[in-house]
Copies of this chain bind each other. A is one copy, B any other.
């Protein structure tokens, strides 16, 4: 008889499993009972490791951030523009890696202070490039907030890359908007080719920082 004792849970294993499940069931379907079942445990066991479900979501967001950092080698010799592009592309990619990734991420707060290292390094790079601290914060956080907003909307239409939520037929939309020709035509621009559009918006923000803070 298998007297194998399952290794005890820990926060990381729970968060990892929850993130894996997230892609299959989405945020609405991600219940404590589902997560527990996958871990071969009953739901209340999770309360030993997390004070409530939000704390678990926070850990999931933190883990997403960790993975993003781990998967994004940053060159300390980057120009600030390169840094801004690289880190925001990485953020988008990471968020797109999970169904409802942006919602989970932006609805949570990091556990611990692990993110501070990365943040410090970025602020150092920006101030070294001639930004005041206030400008550095404005530059990075404006870009960050754009990315978050972008991916949130993007995932509202495409929950996972290539997978389309119903009711977003571009042609159908254009037909309905026959009386608004510009808006109708804009549909293609709005609901397709997210990658390209993200880049374009990102470039707009970067250009704004260049010109307004005079640090080309």
Q: Which residues of A contact B (CB under 8 A)?
A: 103, 106-107, 109, 113, 116-117, 119-120, 123-124, 127, 133-134, 136-139, 141-142, 144-150, 152-153, 156, 167, 176-177, 179-183, 185-186, 189-190, 197, 200-201, 203-212
Q: Which residues of B contact A189 (CB under 8 A)?
A: 133-134, 137-138
Q: Name A208's closest neighbour in chain B (CB-CB).
A: B208
- Whether A204 contacts B139 by the Cβ 8 Å rule is yes
Q: Give A119 to B201 CA distance when docked, in angstroms.
A: 19
Instruction: Tell which of B183, B204, B211 touches A142, judged by Cβ atoms closer than 8 Å.
Output: B204
Query: Given the interface contacts A139-B204, A142-B146, A177-B116, does A133 sit within 8 Å of B209 by beta carbon?
Result: no
A90 and B149 CA atoms in complex are apart in Å by 17
Kindly identify which residue among B150, B167, B185 contacts A133, using a CB–CB cutoff of 8 Å.
Answer: B185
On whether the beta carbons of A183 and B123 are closer than 8 Å, the reply is yes
Contact among B119, B177, B201 with A180 in the assembled complex (CB-CB below 8 Å): B119
- A182 contacts B212, CB within 8 Å? no
Contacts of A107 in B (CB 8 A): 103, 156
Greatest chain B CB density within 10 A among A107, A145, A190 is at: A145
Collect the chain B residues with CB atoms within 8 Å of residue A117's CB.
Answer: 180
The answer to whether A207 and B197 touch across the interface, beta carbons within 8 angstroms, is no
